[in-house]
Structure 1
């Protein structure tokens, strides 16, 4: 049985509110189901619905101040889907809401970037690990956020962006982090930061500038890649740090690498495999630099019994809010401005089941 492709929505609207409204209408069921999934996740972590409502409204205010056009797009998504605006705000702030509840966990993503250094484009790959009950939340989206700027992003229904590439040849990978400075004083959602970087940045320095301009309440690392540069931007309320490649190789799991920010690390080895995965990744530059995207994805195929659960599988005996799985495997081609998305973890990757989205707003199977 073939692996189904991740759903893909293509926007032709150039106005933010109209684009959001059209997405909301087209993806209404997926957005409703995704919000219901997150509502259950928030409740399992002790968040009352009125807390979620207040956090969603706070997020909308922060987005409106930092990226007004994305606030308009979110308002359009709410109108099109028939959900209250605060619920779409909560979806976009799901990282911030979970940080407000001091949630930690076993899983999350592993990212690798290899810079060959001989004019060959960077070779990137990551897993997207999340709760298995939210596997149907995945969405690929291509859009034109402003005249002349095209973006392809892998995200979740109702969330404005996450991992992706733009037509300037700048790509963004995404991993969550947890820092002691994370708080319930909801700031600009990190997913909104990732989307604005895709919308506006043409260089890594542009991405750094944008990231530093946002007031944050939760932590994340954006691995920003161009044809000849790559950097991990570790975002936290305590500050933004830059991690540079070593010998043309850059990897990140879910703990801080910057020495100063690492002093506030909230993730510990007893609850997360991030330190094992980080070590495992750093030892595999050659395999992770493979030219073929499927071969590169297979290089991430390591399970817990292999020493590091880079390819994660949900333990079904655990309650849903404690289960983690590699739901997608993703690679970015900044030279051809293409985003490759495969449903499932590295051990499930097959040659013919990649969805390839172009920042030129076309799909290549």
Structure 2
């Protein structure tokens, strides 16, 4: 959680600008100039196997490059330079989920299917505040978060797969769309 906010471009407009872009570079440029109203994270990738993690704010923008072709991120600021200029007070479980997904991604083989990613997203380490989030009745209602959907985008094959609700409750993909 952060109180860093300025009257600039709302993050949802930034998301739309990324989706409306024709090239990786255009998508990156749409959110790379400290023009977002509040801190957010955008993962930008292309069929040409370009990928970047962009942490944005109204005062600083940071890029995180993949390690061994992999980028992971949870709900806190990860870039050290961004941490120095934007006050961030995330929920402690964000750090736990980042460590958990990092470990799980390391166990994947090189031939990854959407079902493999969904199985990672269904992980319950630190339940109910796990990667697959469930209602936590010990938290105040405004702090209680749940997974509402999971999405896997296969840019190589132009497929998007979606599971509505918690991925642990679905044994099959809700929908796969070829774009």
For normalisation by structure 2, the TM-score amounts to 0.85
Aligned to 1:21: none
Alignment of 1:107-256 (within 5 A): 178=2, 182-183=4-5, 185-203=6-24, 205-213=25-33, 215-227=35-47, 228-256=49-77
Alignment of 1:64-79 (within 5 A): none
Rounded to whole Å, the distance in 2 between the matches of 1:288 and 1:307 is 27
Aligned to 2:88: 266
Rounded to whole Å, the distance in 2 between the matches of 1:299 and 1:306 is 14
* Conservation of the 8 A alpha-carbon contact between 2:100 and 2:125: no
Rounded to whole Å, the distance in 1 between the matches of 2:111 and 2:149 is 19
Query: What secondary structure, in the 3-state scheme, does the structure 2 residue paired with 1:324 have?
Result: coil
* Conservation of the 8 A alpha-carbon contact between 2:44 and 2:51: yes
Query: What secondary structure, in the 3-state scheme, does the structure 1 residue paired with 2:95 have?
Result: helix
1:345 aligns with 2:151: no
Residues matched between the structures, number:
176
The Cα of 1:261 is off from its aligned counterpart by 0.5
- Change over 3 Å in CA distance of 1:319–1:276 after alignment to 2: closer
- Change over 3 Å in CA distance of 1:330–1:288 after alignment to 2: farther
* Conservation of the 8 A alpha-carbon contact between 2:34 and 2:56: no
1:112-152 residue CA offsets vs partner (Å, 9 max, x unmatched) = xxxxxxxxxxxxxxxxxxxxxxxxxxxxxxxxxxxxxxxxx
- Change over 3 Å in CA distance of 1:251–1:305 after alignment to 2: closer
* Conservation of the 8 A alpha-carbon contact between 1:256 and 1:265: no
Query: What secondary structure, in the 3-state scheme, does the structure 1 residue paired with 2:116 have?
Result: helix
Unpaired segments ≥5 residues, structure 2: none
The Cα of 1:317 is off from its aligned counterpart by 5.5
The Cα of 1:241 is off from its aligned counterpart by 1.0
- Change over 3 Å in CA distance of 1:349–1:293 after alignment to 2: farther
Identify the structure with the greater strand proportion.
Answer: 1
Rounded to whole Å, the distance in 1 between the matches of 2:95 and 2:138 is 24
Q: Taking CA–CA contacts closer than 8 Å with sequence separation of 6 or more, which of the two structures ends up with the larger relative contact order?
A: 1
Query: What secondary structure, in the 3-state scheme, does the structure 1 residue paired with 2:72 have?
Result: strand
The Cα of 1:257 is off from its aligned counterpart by 1.9
Unpaired segments ≥5 residues, structure 1: 1-103, 105-177, 360-365
* Conservation of the 8 A alpha-carbon contact between 2:148 and 2:164: yes
1:313 aligns with 2:138: no
The Cα of 1:222 is off from its aligned counterpart by 0.6
- Alignment equivalent of 1:295, drawn from 116, 120, 131: 116
Rounded to whole Å, the distance in 1 between the matches of 2:68 and 2:155 is 20
RMSD: 2.4
* Conservation of the 8 A alpha-carbon contact between 2:97 and 2:130: yes
- Change over 3 Å in CA distance of 1:225–1:218 after alignment to 2: same
1:313-364 residue CA offsets vs partner (Å, 9 max, x unmatched) = 012464532221011111001123222111112312322x4222343xxxxx
Aligned to 1:275: 95
- Change over 3 Å in CA distance of 1:305–1:277 after alignment to 2: closer
The Cα of 1:288 is off from its aligned counterpart by 8.0
Rounded to whole Å, the distance in 2 between the matches of 1:208 and 1:273 is 29
The Cα of 1:218 is off from its aligned counterpart by 0.7
The Cα of 1:232 is off from its aligned counterpart by 0.2
